Structure 1
Amino acid sequence: MAADRLTSALLIGVLVRRAAAAGGFATVLVKGDENSGVILVQTLERGQETGLFERIPDYEGGYRLAPCGPALDAGPLALAQYIERRRRADPDLWIIELDIAEAERFAAETICS
């Protein structure tokens, strides 16, 4: 691990604390590998699902959030099935639920650099 790379656990902790400080809510649904687990962010705004995003490397040496999973109109069963498949394929996966205004932007500002 490079010295300048933050661990997944640290990034998740920062996201949870920043969300609380901003009046939002974040909770860890699935705890993954402390150091390098993939991070999925399930975004909500006032309890309404707004998307599922994965933190992925970008071409500039940083990270970005990319939409993943089924379309919102596919329903909660499709989302649950997608998450279960991802967890089976990657037991080191983190899943965090984030309920705050402009959740995708908020998460990107916090965990993508």
Structure 2
Amino acid sequence: MSEPKLKAKLFIHAAIRRCSIQAIPAVVAHKGDDDSGAILVRVLQGGDCCRIYAQVRNVSGQLGWMCATGPQSVSESRAEAYVARARDVDGDLWVLDVESSDGLAPFLEPIFPG
């Protein structure tokens, strides 16, 4: 059985707070449904490099993250195109932008291999 999922708005506020504590800039780029919106995290690494993480469950039902854009960083324009396509499919989608040179954020755990 899988563990329960936090409401999207609560998760987003907690993620921003966790980033703030570590002096990592994080902002909501797109607000989704407060209760059940899916969440994408766009990690801006600088130098036109990004990674996008999507919240997923593994085969045993454990909630975690997967790099939706693949193992390598992508350009900001490619990341924006991915986000735009995802928003076209899901109007309730949250998008959280995090600036992190190492491509990670303190709340992205566990990360599942793609």
Aligned CA distance change for structure 1 residues 5 and 64 (closer, same or farther; 3 Å) = closer
Aligned CA distance change for structure 1 residues 82 and 43 (closer, same or farther; 3 Å) = same
2-structure distance, mates of 1:5, 1:72: 28
Q: Which moved more, 1:81-90 or 1:53-62?
A: 53-62
- Which sections of structure 1, spanning at least 5 residues, go unmatched? none
2-structure distance, mates of 1:103, 1:80: 16
> Structure 1 vs Structure 2: percent identity of aligned residues?
25
2-structure distance, mates of 1:50, 1:90: 21
Q: Offset of 1:83 from its aligned partner? A: 1.4
What pairs up with 1:1-113 in 2 under 5 angstroms? 4-45=4-45, 47-48=46-47, 49-69=49-69, 72-73=73-74, 75-100=75-100, 102-104=102-104, 106-109=106-109
Q: Contact (CA 8 Å) 2:43, 2:98: kept in 1 or not? A: yes
Q: Offset of 1:58 from its aligned partner? A: 2.2
Q: Contact (CA 8 Å) 1:19, 1:25: kept in 2 or not? A: yes
Q: Offset of 1:90 from its aligned partner? A: 0.3
Q: Offset of 1:79 from its aligned partner? A: 2.2
Q: Offset of 1:92 from its aligned partner? A: 0.6
TM-score (norm 2): 0.76
Amino acid corresponding to residue 72 of structure 1 in structure 2: S
- Which sections of structure 2, spanning at least 5 residues, go unmatched? none
Relative to its length, the structure with more helix (as a share) is 1
Amino acid corresponding to residue 79 of structure 1 in structure 2: A
Q: How many residue pairs were aligned?
A: 106
Q: Contact (CA 8 Å) 1:31, 1:94: kept in 2 or not? A: yes
2-structure distance, mates of 1:19, 1:105: 7
Aligned CA distance change for structure 1 residues 58 and 19 (closer, same or farther; 3 Å) = same
